[in-house]
Amino acid sequence: MAQGEPEPVLAVSGEEEEKKEGGEGPELAPAAGGVGLQEKVQGLKQELFQEDDDDDDDSCSDYGSRDKSGTILGRIVPDRNVLFPDTFQTNHLLFYERFKAYQDYILADCKASEVKEFTAEYLEKVLEPSGWQAIWRTNVFEVLVEVVDVEYSTLKAVVRLSEPFLCDSHVSTFTLECMQELLELKKHQLPVQELWVVFDESGEFDQTALAIEHVRFFYQHIWRSWDEEDEDDFDYFVRCVEPRLRLHYDILEDRVPSGLIADYHNLLSQCEVLYRKFVNLRSGISSSDSDSEAENVSMVEGLKLYDEIEHLKQKLKLIENPLLRYVFGYQKHTGLQAKGSRPMGTKITHVVSSTIMASLLQSLLREKLCPETCDEELEIQFHSDPLTAVSACYEGDTVIICPGHYVVDGMFCIADSIELEGYGLPDDVVIEKRGKGDNFVDCTGANIRLSSLKLVQHDAVEGILSVHHGKTTLENCVLQCETTGVTVRTSAELLMKNSDLYGAKGAGVEIYPGSTCTLLDNGIHHCKEGILIKDFLDEHYDSPKITMVNNVIHNNEGYGVVLVKPTVSSDVKDIAAKNSEDLGNTQTIQSNGETENVEDLGHPELHECAMDELELHERAEISEQTEGNCEIANELVATSVKKSQMHKKRLSELGITEADDNIMSQEMFVSIVGNQFKRNGKGSFGTFLF
């Protein structure tokens, strides 16, 4: 035991010493009705839950045949108190085992309001009503109890303290008398999820242990206190249980970025706190018959709380949905701190090479280190791997990576304005990431430049390169992705040219609201989606500035370019169709060398764009290479127009009729010229509605 840790208190009744000396333990009373009734009950359970004989895939399911002698579950040996009995190990169940249990045996097609009722019916079918021991666990103590009955409707077990009395706690006050008094206050009824079934080799209590585990897991990881107040429909399992279960296992299997996990738990905690405040406020209003000013204030506060809760719930649902989780992402607040310039203002050139030949060194000195145009003498440092070199950089440093295949185990965190360039062709300077991790390259510096490199990503959770702040230039690079490709966060800027990006399981390039993204002469191919432009209709976001010139976007599974946006309410659509002539800002679109005004997009075009939001439309690939540019530009600008109209409506509701031009000029700069779209699975452009 660690020094300073309080010694656990073990309470043992007076009969314990005698029974331990005699090798006896507590005897369990046989179930009423004798062995014959037990066999009938056992047979009935087997008929209820036995799978079809030909269903070999589920042979290891927790609802299989119980003809086998002995338990199929493991045991957990207590690590602190050896006098406590072992318990069943049930927390290791696989995703499909839990999924099958909730879908087929417990919840089926129930409503949220029927969850407790369906769970009670399930427990009544599989739980042994009495005659088994369990450890009652709380945050303060553990005590051994014996179950004498089960109140299925309340999901509680009726218990009594086992003999001999065993209690493990850091607090010495939990004596036999105190525990008996505590149980009397609880009327000897405990929630079944607080019980851990004592291990039994016979297999008789396997189903009891598994049933309690399913209930415990559900109320710990799946159920939300506000679920009953949401849409009470028969799709509760599909709408809530399945996505939350998948998210739980995605987190366990390191498939979710750590920042997104932190955001999710944060949102969950905020929502729980606000919901409790809302419920207390609502109960206070409903119990009062007066029509006082204080009650009116409470109602206004309640409506405000309700709106906040709904906003948080929407964010939680986006993260829980595996399809939308990475589409919307999260605002990662990176903790990278720039070092700034060195005290003496010197700048160092870092050369990376595991070994270097004399001829290569001569070329390097002639072309990079001692050029004729250089008047100052350079200070040079040598490194064996790129990660060490980047970590040693200060503002204005340059890293030159010699040809070779470099395997790194960490991530590149670039917070200063530096230049990272490969000496040679991209395929000659390969940086490969090994080991699990969230990121590969994180950029927050004011002006970062990467050139002539090949980045290869493995076992990743996030994209290959993320630009959080400042400007990052990517030139003549090859990016072999794993999850998503390059991400341009809000307020960040990316210039990517003459580069090749492929292999992303998400989008090759993700463009966030309020960012600036310039793509020139790139190849983006063999990704889930080519380029994904995230929703920017929210009033808190500025429109992105997007330039796409002479890119070849081909062989992607979905669309070449996809725009994500919400399904807008009908009043906003009416404004877009009705008041488009009131938009005073003129927007220029470049498409295939032609120039046209937003004002020239007549009412039918804008109305059609608004109506297209009702479905995820696929475009025909006829003349895809030539029509794709115009189609993308028109849709993006129409969405920008709509954002301006929505903003104008909000200002009007606040009584502001003459808005400042700077406030209203949140238009998107769009230049879509000369891009080629080939063999993309769903076409050149699509819209994803949420």
- HEC string of 199-256 equals CCCCCCCHHHHHHHHHHHHHHHHHCCCCHHHCCCCCCHHHHHHHHHHHHHHHHHCCCC
Below-50 pLDDT ranges, the chain: 1-38, 40-41, 44-45, 47-68, 333, 569-622, 656-666
Return the number of other C-beta atoms located less than 10 Å from residue 228's C-beta: 15
DSSP secondary structure of 431-487:
EEE-S-BS-SEEE-SSEEEEES-EEE--SBSS-SEEE-SSEEEEES-EEE-SS--EE
Closest CA to 582 of 658, 499, 511: 658
Residue 329, phi-psi category: left (phi > 0), alpha (psi -120 to 50), beta (remainder): left
Distance CA 463, CA 488 (A): 11
CA dihedral 531→534→536→540, nearest 10 degrees, is -140
Cβ within 8 Å of residue 58, ≥6 positions away: 51, 64, 100
The pLDDT of residue 354: 83
CA dihedral 5→10→11→13, nearest 10 degrees, is -160
Distance CA 627, CA 674 (A): 10
CB 619 within 8 A of CB 684: yes
Distance CA 577, CA 391 (A): 54
pLDDT digits (tens, 9 = 90+) for 641-675: 666 666 556 555 555 444 344 433 345 567 888 99
Return the number of other C-beta atoms located less than 10 Å from residue 265's C-beta: 11
Chain-wide mean pLDDT for the chain? 77
Residue 530 per-residue DSSP state: E
What is the DSSP pairing of strand 478-480 with strand 500-502?
parallel
CB 523 within 8 A of CB 647: no
Sign of CA dihedral 249, 254, 257, 260: positive
pLDDT digits (tens, 9 = 90+) for 10-64: 444 444 444 444 444 334 334 333 444 445 445 544 544 444 444 444 433 444 4
CB 559 within 8 A of CB 530: yes
Cβ within 8 Å of residue 329, ≥6 positions away: 260, 487, 510, 512, 534
Distance CA 585, CA 576 (A): 14
pLDDT digits (tens, 9 = 90+) for 219-265: 999 999 999 887 767 788 998 999 999 999 988 887 777 778 888 89
The pLDDT of residue 299: 81
Cβ within 8 Å of residue 541, ≥6 positions away: 490, 513, 514, 535
Distance CA 441, CA 514 (A): 21
Residue 131, phi-psi category: left (phi > 0), alpha (psi -120 to 50), beta (remainder): left
Distance CA 654, CA 675 (A): 43
Q: Which residue has the tokens 């600036």?
A: 516
The pLDDT of residue 203: 86
Distance CA 64, CA 51 (A): 6
The pLDDT of residue 284: 78
Distance CA 198, CA 146 (A): 10
Sign of CA dihedral 477, 478, 482, 488: positive
CB 428 within 8 A of CB 379: no
pLDDT digits (tens, 9 = 90+) for 607-619: 343 334 434 444 4
